[in-house]
Amino acid sequence: MKILVVQDHLRSGGTERQSVLLANAFSAGGHATTLLSFRPGGVLSHNLDRTVSRHVLQPFDTGLDFFAPGLIRRARQLAPDVVLCMGRMANCYAGRLQAALPQSAVIGTMRTGKKLPRAFQRSLQRVRHVVANSRDARDLLVTQHGVSAKRISVIHNSLVFPPAAAVADAAASHAKLRSEQRATDTTFVMLSVAMFRPEKGQRELIEIVSVLPADFDWQLWFVGDGATRTTCEKRVAELDLGARVKFLGFQRDPAPLYAAADCAVHASSSESLSNFLIEAQAHGLPAIAMAAQGIEECFLPGKTGWAIPRGDRDAFRDAIRTVARVEPHLGSPRSALARDFARTTFDPARQVGAYLELFSRLLETPPRT
């Protein structure tokens, strides 16, 4: 099977990590796989296996995510059996790709809670099939965009970062990282892993924790980079939280930080399914998150994670204090439940298998006329 994965840019976002993971897995399974990006470079380009063919459309990085010169011509040259469009910009071109490649199965994906551009919405009606990465996303496609439920498959995101191999290794990482960040054994460490964008809610988290009780020993670690990091750093300085809030930058593999933290916190206003939260669960971290599309599919609500009504900062702080009072995450029954749930539900082999099964089924079915 010849598979083409289309992505605008290999930046450090969750969708981009899923694109690389899937391309690598398809290639490892013996399928001729190409990852085509609009922009060259990107921090995740080094994560792509050599067996995956990389094609880039822009001769130099214009900084424009939507600019895809020669996309249709290149796709025709590659003559793929399957085209998997990942991310908003790639999906804006999905309908045109299907029209240009009528014998190929072009698959759109719904992996965002943001408003969809018109080109994206038109593509949803023209592609052979749509993959939603959460049940909430599927329901939105049906109720708001008029996509037939028969043309939608729900395939959750895959775990990108493997959990710690052993509790002993996790404990060692825990002690080392907490020492490096000057957190004591009793400090309650909250972790947020996401690109710094307005919709990801890092500023919201800063505002929430800024009024935690003075006698509560806590730290908040931010992992990631992006456009709003500077403004978040300025807000931390204004609130005199520099000793408590740490900016750890982009981490190629944040798994040790999951092992060192006590709780995952997330305040994104625009989600479909959070890679960060499912990875945190796989490492045994309880999760506290503002409610958004797909959030409650990332954990077992009320058991391993809590979705807080949007804007209810007091309830978010109450949840933090409640989680902080329970036993350490590595040994608690709740953490074992979280690990089992995430490692089963979001197992990469299971998700990749679901994609390949879908591809085979679509290729066996005559194109729509």
Q: Could you report the per-residue pLDDT of 79-133, keeping only the tens digit for each?
A: 999 999 998 999 999 999 999 999 999 999 998 888 899 999 999 999 999 999 9
List of residues 6+ apart from 198 with CB closer than 8 A: 227, 228
What does DSSP assign to residue 297?
Answer: G
Q: Could you report the per-residue pLDDT of 303-327, keeping only the tens digit for each?
A: 999 999 999 999 999 999 999 987 5
**Whether residue 328 has pLDDT greater than 60:** no
User: Which of 3-12, 86-95, 360-369 is predicted with the least confidence, judged by mean pLDDT?
Assistant: 360-369
CA gyration radius, the chain: 21
Domain 167-345 belongs in CATH node 1.20.120.1150 = no
CB 338 within 8 Å of CB 281 = yes
Give the per-residue pLDDT at 272.
80
Residue type, 5: V
Cα–Cα distances in angstroms (integers) from residue 112 to residues 131, 286, 308, 366, in the given order:
12, 23, 20, 29
* Mean pLDDT, range 272-300, rounded to an integer: 93
| Domain(s) of CATH 3.40.50.2000: residues in the chain | 2-158+347-364, 167-345
**Whether residue 179 has pLDDT greater than 90:** no
Q: Could you report the per-residue pLDDT of 12-64, keeping only the tens digit for each?
A: 888 999 999 999 999 999 999 999 999 999 999 999 999 999 999 999 999 99
* Mean pLDDT, range 252-266, rounded to an integer: 90
pTM of the shown model:
0.86
List of residues 6+ apart from 365 with CB closer than 8 A: none
Around Cβ 365, how many Cβ atoms within 10 Å?
11
Give the per-residue pLDDT at 327.
57
CATH class belonging to 2-158+347-364: alpha beta
